[in-house]
Amino acid sequence: MPFTYGLSAQLLGLGDDEDPIMIQGMIDIVWEEEDGWCLLDYKTDRILGRYENKAIGIQRLTEAYRRQIQLYCYALQQIWRTPVLQSYLYFMDVHEAIEVPEASVDEMFSSLIKGETR
């Protein structure tokens, strides 16, 4: 599911400009639960044979993609005005889903400014 969402430069701490900074993404799967939404994003990165072991690979890639999925959750909550209850990264190489914890707005945007997303 493609989406586009405009964030204010002020919210991101990038100045006083009122023009939005556009965020675009493609969420692979979104489903509705009784109290909100859940989302899953497929990742095709190779893990086996690339890292010391499967656990280290999953840990490193989860950290690399964490802010991306948290930003997707934030955008969906703002667009649909409904909470995102859970979000997952699904690593196809090892057939494993990892839940990604929700981030506070301050935590998420401070890391975006530092360039910590993938």
Is pTM, for the whole model, over 0.85? Answer: no
CB atoms under 10 Å from CB of 78, counted, come to: 11
pLDDT digits (tens, 9 = 90+) for 44-97: 999 999 999 999 999 999 999 998 999 899 899 999 999 999 999 999 999 999
**Residues 67 and 117: beta-carbon distance below 8 Å:** yes
Residue count of the chain: 118
Sheet (strand 29-33) strand order = 29-33, 36-43, 84-91, 96-99
pLDDT over 90 (residue 117): no
Q: What is the DSSP string of 28-73?
A: SEEEEETTEEEEEEEE----TTTSSSHHHHHHHHHHHHHHHHHHHH
**Residues 118 and 64: beta-carbon distance below 8 Å:** yes
- Collapsing DSSP to helix, strand or coil, 105 comes out as helix
Alpha carbons 100 and 112: distance in angstroms, whole number: 17
Q: In the CATH scheme, what architecture does the domain 27-113 have? A: Alpha-Beta Complex (3.90)
